Chains A and B, each alone.
Chain A
Amino acid sequence: MATIAFLLNGTPQRCDISPDTSILTLLREHLAQTGTKEGCASGDCGACTVAIGESTADRQHFTSANACITPAHQLRGKHLVTVEGLSVKGNLHPAQEAMVKCHGSQCGFCTPGIVMSLFTLHNDLTQRPSPLTPVRLEAALGGNLCRCTGYRPIRDAALSMNDMPYERPQWFDATLPAPESDAQTTESPGTAPFFAQPASLAALTQWRQAAPQARLVAGGTDLWLESTQRLATLDQLIDVSRVAELLTIEEAQLDNQIGWWIGAGVTYTQLEPLFEAHFPAFAHLLHRLGSQQIRNRGTLGGNIANASPIGDTPPVLLALGAQVELASVTGKRRLALEDFFLDYKKTALAADEVISRIFVPQPVEGSQLRVWKLSKRREDDISALLGAFSYRVEQGVLRDVRIAFGGMAATPKRALAAEAALEGNAITREAFRAAQQALDNDFQPMSDVRGSQQYRQQAAKNLFERLYLSLSAPDHEVMLHAYAH
Chain B
Amino acid sequence: MGNDIQRRDFFKVLAATGAATAAVAGCADPPEKLIPYLVPPTNIEFVPGHPVEYATTCMECPAACGMVVKTREGRAIKAEGNPDHPGNAGALCVRGQASLQTLYNPARLASALVREGTTWKAVPWTQAETTLAERIRGLSDRRQLVYLTGNGAGTRGRFLDAWLAALGGAPKLVFEPLGQQNIKAANDQSFRRPEIPQYRIEQATFLLNFGSDFLETWLNPVRQARAFAAMHAIDDAKRSKGRFVHVGPHVSLTGANADQWVAIRPGSERILALALAREVLQRRGKSVSPPEAARLREYLAPYTLESAQDATGVAKDRIAQLAREFAGARSSLALAGGTLAASEAGTATQVAVNLLNHVAGNLGKTVHFGEAQQIDHGAPFSEVLALVKRMQAGAVQLLIVDGANPLHALPATAGFADALAKVPTVVSLSPAWDETTSKAHLVLPGLTFLESWGDAFPQKGVNALVQPVMAPVYPLKSVEDTLLAVARAAGATQFEKTATYYDYLRAAWAGVQKEVGNREAFDVFWRKALQAGGVFQQVSASGAVRLDLRVLAEPAPRGKLAGTGLVLLPTASLRHHDGRGARNPWLQEIPDPISQVVWDSWADIHPTTAKRLGIAHGQAIRVKSPYGEVETAAYLHYGVHEDAIAIPLGQGRTDSGRDADQRGVNVMTLLPAVHDPASGQFAFVTTRVSVEPLPHQAFLVQTDGSPRQLGRGIIQQMSLEQVAKGEAPAAGHGGEVAAAAAGAAGQSAAGTVHARAASFYPPRERTPGYHDPYRWGMSVDGDRCTGCSACVAACYAENNIPVVGKERVGLGREMSWLRIERFIEGRGEEYQTLLQPMFCQQCSNAGCEPVCPVYATYHNPEGLNAQVYNRCVGTRYCSNNCAYKVRRFNWFNYEFKSPLHLQLNPDVTVRSKGVMEKCTFCVQRIQHARLKADGEGRPIKDGEVQPACVQTCPTRALTFGNLADPASEVSRKSMRGEEARQKRVRQYEVLEELANLPAVTYQRRVRVTTEQEA
A binds B: no
